[in-house]
A and B are shown apart, each in its own frame.
Chain A
Amino acid sequence: MSSLEVRGISKSFGGVKAIDDFSFDVGQHAIVGIIGPNGAGKTTAFNLLTGVYALDAGRVILDGKELTGLPQHEIARAGMGRTFQNIRVFRGLNVLENVMTAADPYSDYNLLDVCFYSSRKRSREQAVRELSRNYLKIVGLEGCEEERPESLPYGLQRKLELARALATNPKVLLLDEPAAGLNPSEVRAFIDLIRTIHSQFEFSIIIIEHRLEVIMSLSSKIFVLNFGKLLASGTPAEIVSNKAVTVAYLGEEDTACSI
Chain B
Amino acid sequence: MEYLASTLTFTGISLIGVLGAYLVTGLTGLFSFGQAAFLAVGAYVSAILFKNFGLPLPVAAVAAMITGLIAGVIVGVPTVRLRRDYISLVTFGFGEAIIAVLNNSTSITGGATGLSGVPQYTTFPLVLVSVLVCLAIVISYKNSKYGRQCLALRSDELAARSMGINVERLKLMTFLMASVMTSFAGVLFVFYTTYVEPGAFGWVVSAEWTIIVFVGGINSLTGAVVATVLLTGLPEFLRFASEWRIAIYCIIVLLILNFRPSGMFGQYEISLRSIKQLFGKGA
* A115-B140 in contact given A77-B164, A97-B148, A107-B145 (Cβ < 8 Å): yes
Q: What are 30 A-B pairs at a CB distance below 8 A?
A: A52-B158, A52-B161, A52-B162, A71-B166, A73-B161, A73-B165, A76-B163, A76-B164, A77-B164, A84-B159, A89-B159, A90-B155, A90-B160, A92-B154, A97-B148, A97-B151, A98-B152, A101-B149, A101-B163, A101-B165, A104-B145, A104-B148, A104-B163, A105-B166, A109-B144, A114-B141, A117-B140, A121-B140, A125-B145, A128-B145
Q: Which label, helix, strand, loop or mixed, suits the secondary structure of the B interface?
A: helix
A86 to B226, CA, bound (A): 37
B162 engages A82 (CB within 8 Å): yes
Chain A residues in 8 Å Cβ range of B145: 100-101, 104-105, 107, 109, 125, 128
* B71 vs chain A, min Cβ distance (A): 19
A88 engages B158 (CB within 8 Å): yes
* B214 vs chain A, min Cβ distance (A): 14
| Interface flag for A50 (CB, 8 Å) | yes
Q: Interface digits, B85-98 against A, CB 8 Å rule (1 contact, 0 not)?
A: 00000000000000
* A111 vs chain B, min Cβ distance (A): 7
Instruction: List residues of B whose CB falls within 8 A of some A CB.
Output: 136-137, 140-141, 143-146, 148-149, 151-152, 154-156, 158-167, 173, 177, 219, 267
A105 engages B164 (CB within 8 Å): yes
* A111-B146 in contact given A92-B154, A101-B152, A117-B140 (Cβ < 8 Å): yes
A107 to B147, CA, bound (A): 13
Given A84-B159, A121-B140, 14 further pairs, Cβ under 8 A: A71-B166, A72-B162, A74-B164, A76-B161, A90-B156, A92-B151, A104-B163, A107-B145, A109-B145, A111-B173, A114-B137, A114-B140, A114-B141, A168-B163
- Counting chain B CB atoms within 10 Å of each CB, the highest count among A73, A97, A117 belongs to A73
Instruction: List residues of A whose CB falls within 8 A of some B CB.
Output: 50, 52, 71-74, 76-77, 81-82, 84, 88-93, 97-98, 100-102, 104-105, 107, 109, 111, 114-115, 117, 121, 125, 128, 164, 168
Chain B residues in 8 Å Cβ range of A117: 136, 140
B163 engages A88 (CB within 8 Å): no
A196 to B259, CA, bound (A): 48
Contact count A vs B, C-beta below 8 Å: 95
B267 engages A92 (CB within 8 Å): yes
Q: Which residue of A lies closest to B146 (CB)?
A: A114
B163 engages A50 (CB within 8 Å): no
* A80 vs chain B, min Cβ distance (A): 8
B166 engages A73 (CB within 8 Å): yes
Chain B residues in 8 Å Cβ range of A92: 151, 154-155, 219, 267
A71 to B166, CA, bound (A): 9
Chain B residues in 8 Å Cβ range of A115: 137, 140
* A206 vs chain B, min Cβ distance (A): 14
* A93-B148 in contact given A52-B158, A102-B164, A164-B163 (Cβ < 8 Å): yes
Q: Which residue of A lies closest to B218 (CB)?
A: A92
